[in-house]
Amino acid sequence: MSACLEIRSLSALLPNGQRVLRSVSLAVQPGEVRALVGESGAGKTMIGKALLGVLPKSVRIIEGEMLIEGEELSRLDAKARRTLIGARTALIPQDPLTALNRSRRIGPQMTDRLVRILGWSGERADKRIRQLLDEVQFRDPQRVLKCYPHELSGGMRQRVLIAAAFAAEPRLIVADEPTTALDVTVQKQILRLIAELQRDHGTAILFVTHDLGVVAKISQKVSVLYAGKVVEEADTAALFAAPQHPYTRALIAATPRYTDPYASLKPVDETVLAGLTAEIAAADKAWRPAHG
Amino acid sequence: MDEARTSRRGLSPRLWLAGGWLILALAAATFAPLIAPQDPLAQDLMLERLPPFWLDGAESGYWLGTDSLGRDLLSRLIFGGRIAFIVAFAAATSACLIGSALGLIAGYFGGWADRFISRIVDIWMAFPPVLFAILLVAVLGTGLSSVIIAIAVIDWTRFCRVIRAEAMSQARMDYVESARIAGYGRIGIMLREVLPNVLPSVVALLSLEMGIAVIVEAILSFVNLSISTDDPTWGSIIAEGRLSIHQAWWVLVFPLITLILTVLSFSQFGEGLKARFDPVLR
Ligand SMILES: Nc1ncnc2c1ncn2[C@@H]1O[C@H](COP(=O)(O)OP(=O)(O)OP(=O)(O)O)[C@@H](O)[C@H]1O
Ligand SMILES: [Mg+2]
């Protein structure tokens, strides 16, 4: 059985010629949650955007392949690619504020997609959406459908977006830091919901985060990204038990423990960072673009 | 878990007052032949410079008095409203359609389309508008349609600039990206997702532009460049009133009041409508 998502040595350039992604390879098996961790600016969002086909125009992919359920994206023409991405994937975005259209009611905003992607009748789509809103624990889905986004709280909006992502039964969901814009109590609830729906629907998730605590809770596999390069990948349990790369070890050490939040808290070690910089520089030197 | 709240507010007094005046003025203009107490063109030198009804020497049936040729002022204002409203609707709608469409395209698509359209707007805005209008009418020849064309040709940039900026900020929103991921095409997203977000501003600008068109038409007829026939327009009445300000102030004051009320109402009505249309402000 082919992987749900497979990225093979993907590299991308910024307009200033700098590499944002450095031969990134990762795979997500059907029904599996893979966490993608790394600090801010590591290129996590870039990877998600690349595979969903919404990279900014200025960012150029210079090598690599992306396969969704065994289909190589770059081999498809633009229309077929859009259709494939639309049908098999969905995004749970980071900021629930701008991810909903403020001028349209929730109902039409959500049902539209189902009608478009699955060719369903409006009625059927409507029923499906109400069922999903129920799954994300809205007491009165009917009412939510009639609301404008500003009439919902941040947490409610994020629940709407989770429902929307699962509604068309995609095989893969990219969740790009879906809880960072929310306060801590709501974060837990949202994480639990995502985990629950993921299990019930058997959806694979590429879960982008910079929080190792979240990684431990939700994922079976982890890829650690630093400066656009995957420095380590492993089973989640194995990664926490025996981190291989010094950067991973430093990250784990830098994560506050709930039992003893302050004692173990220390920034990533200077020598580790220096080592990383050297590693990246060496990799860049060794690397030759395929059509250079 | 708290559930969604929904709120609705009634019509604001601003919307009532402005809308009320506009409806009144529009109805009067539309049914002018039925409503006007006198023939607006009938001259009668026996009745020249009659004062409005509350002053000594007023004549019944000539509520706002007469001008120096003995023509009934109220009737002339009512008939003048016809041209004002025709120009307002036709010119503002044309300017709105051209400007909003180009603004939406420039703001949403960006890139060379934006550079091209923005450059044209810059060039356009370099001309002083009133001078531009006078020049255009001088070239096109006087007449109702030239006035309408002149206003539309000059004022589309107003719409273009505002709508471009709004479309641009909307295009950066995540919901546009989600729509892309779901497989919608660019034009589909522009019309279905972005357009509803800029619509409140389009409506407000449209109403404001109607007021501006009324003023521009008045200015053009003031300088004798509008409708060349004897049909009364607010601008031409003001121009005549200016000449007899010391003998008959009302010939100047009433058309000015009418003009100002109408222009103010258009702008306030637009703002009020925007607030109604905007789901967040509502
Ligand atoms: N539109 C763009 N044009 C040029 N550079 C960009 C653009 N978007 C992002 N970048 C750069 O690409 C790099 C990776 O950005 P990315 O958004 O993928 O980081 P991230 O890992 O998602 O970080 P965060 O955790 O803060 O979201 C950053 O250095 C950023 O400055
Ligand atoms: Mg990011």
Domain map of chain B by residue range? 2-277
pLDDT at A263 over 70: no
Q: Is the Cβ–Cβ distance between A246 and A261 less than 8 Å?
A: no
Q: Give the count of beta carbons closer than 10 Å to the beta carbon of residue B89.
A: 15
Residue A276 confidence class, pLDDT cut points 50, 70, 90? confident
Are B186 and B239 a contacting pair, CB within 8 Å?
no
**pLDDT tens column, B252-275:** 999 999 999 999 999 999 999 888
Does the Cβ of A210 fall within 6 Å of ligand 1? yes
Indicate if ligand 1 lies below 6 Å from the C-beta of A181: no
Q: Can you state the angle between helices B250-277 and B73-109, rounded to 10 degrees?
A: 30
- Local confidence band at A266 (pLDDT 50, 70, 90 cut-offs): low
Phi-psi region of A36 (alpha: psi -120 to 50; beta: other; left: phi over 0): beta
C-beta separation of B217 from B227 below 8 A = no
Q: What is the pLDDT of residue B137?
A: 86
pLDDT digits (tens, 9 = 90+) for B56-88: 887 888 889 899 888 999 999 999 999 999 999
Question: What would the mean pLDDT of A87-106 be, rounded to a whole number?
Answer: 93
Give me A177's structure tokens: 């830091």
Burial (Cβ within 10 Å: 0-12, 13-18, ≥19) of residue A194: buried
Is the pLDDT assigned to residue A112 strictly greater than 70? yes
pLDDT at A267: 66
> Which DSSP state fits A149?
G
Among the listed residues B177, B183, B192, the one whose alpha carbon sits nearest the alpha carbon of residue A117: B183
How far does Cα B114 stand from its chain's mean position? 27
Q: CA–CA separation, A109 vs A96, rounded Å?
A: 14
Tens of pLDDT along B2-21?
A: 444 444 456 688 889 999 99
CA-nearest residue for atom 31, ligand 1, is A41
Taking the CA of residue B264 and the nearest CA in chain A, the distance in Å comes to 28
CA A21 vs CA A62, A279, A283: distances in Å: 10, 15, 12
Q: In what order do the strands lie in the sheet with A33-37?
A: A89-92, A172-176, A204-209, A33-37, A221-226, A229-235
Angstrom distance (rounded) from CA B222 to CA B139: 18
Work out the average pLDDT over A211-231.
94
For residue A292, pLDDT over 60 is answered with no
Within 10 angstroms of residue B112's Cβ, the number of other Cβ atoms is 8
Q: What is the pLDDT of residue B1?
A: 41
Tokens of A234: 């492993």
Give pLDDT tens digits for A11-32. Answer: 999 999 889 999 999 999 999 9
Looking at domain B2-277, its CATH class is mainly alpha
Question: Is the CB of residue A50 less than 8 Å from the CB of residue A65?
Answer: no
Report the distance separating Cα B251 and Cα B67, nearest Å: 6
Residue type, B192: R
Q: Please give the Cα distance from A23 to A8 (Å, whole number).
A: 7
Give pLDDT, residue B225.
75
Tokens 């960012």 belong to residue: A59
In this prediction, residue B214 carries a pLDDT of: 93
Spatial CA neighbour of B137 closest among B122, B125, B152, B123: B152
Give the separation between CA B103 and CA B118, rounded to whole angstroms: 9
Query: Atom 26, ligand 1: which residue's CA is nearest?
Result: A40
* Closest residue, chain A, to B196 (C-alpha): A103
pLDDT of residue B4: 44
- Cα separation, B18 vs B264, in Å, equals 8
Instruction: Tell how far the Cα of A21 is from the centroid of ligand 2, in angstroms.
Output: 13
pLDDT lower than 50: segments of chain B: 1-8
Q: What is the 3-state secondary structure (H, E, C) of chain A?
A: CCCCEEEEEEEEECCCCCEEEEEEEEEECCCCEEEEECCCCCCHHHHHHHHHCCCCCCCEEEEEEEEECCEEHHHCCHHHHHHHHHHHEEEECCCCCCCCCCCCCHHHHHHHHHHHHHCCCHHHHHHHHHHHHHHCCCCCHHHHHCCCHHHCCHHHHHHHHHHHHHHCCCCEEEEECCCCCCCHHHHHHHHHHHHHHHHHHCCEEEEEECCHHHHHHHCCEEEEEECCEEEEEEEHHHHHHCCCCHHHHHHHHHCCCCCCCCCCCCCCCHHHHHHHHHHHHHHHHHCCCCCC
pLDDT of residue B60: 83
The CATH architecture to which A5-95+172-291 belongs is 3-Layer(aba) Sandwich (3.40)
**Most informative mutation of A20, A209, A225 for ligand 1 (most atoms within 8 A of CB):** A20
- Give the atom of ligand 1 at the shortest distance from the alpha carbon of A42: 21
Q: What is the pLDDT of residue B47?
A: 86
Task: Note the pLDDT of residue B228.
Answer: 63
* Size of the A and B interface in Cβ pairs below 8 Å: 84
How far apart CA B274 and CA B12 sit, in angstroms, is 12
- Contact (CB, 8 A) for A64 and A39: no
User: Residue A170 is inside which H or E element, if any?
Assistant: none
Domain ranges of chain A: 5-95+172-291
The overall average pLDDT reported for chain A is 90
Q: What is the pLDDT of residues A227-253, one digit of tens each?
A: 999 999 999 999 999 999 999 998 888
What is the per-residue pLDDT for A125? 95
Residue in the block written with tokens 């420095």: A231
When pLDDT is cut at 50, 70 and 90, the band that residue A265 belongs to is low
Query: By percentage, how much of chain A surpasses pLDDT 70?
Result: 93
Question: What is the pTM assigned to this prediction?
Answer: 0.86
Q: What is the DSSP letter of B40?
A: T
For residue B49, which of B251, B206, B253 has the smallest C-alpha distance? B251
pLDDT at res. A82: 92
Give the Cα separation of A79 and A6 in Å (integer): 21
* Residue of chain A minimizing CA distance to B281: A150
Identity of the amino acid at B275: A
Number of the ligand 1 atom closest to the C-alpha atom of A58: 3
Nearest bound ligand to the CA of residue A176: 2
Give me ligand 2 centre to Cα A269, in Å: 23
**Residue B182 and residue A90: Cα distance in Å, rounded?**
7
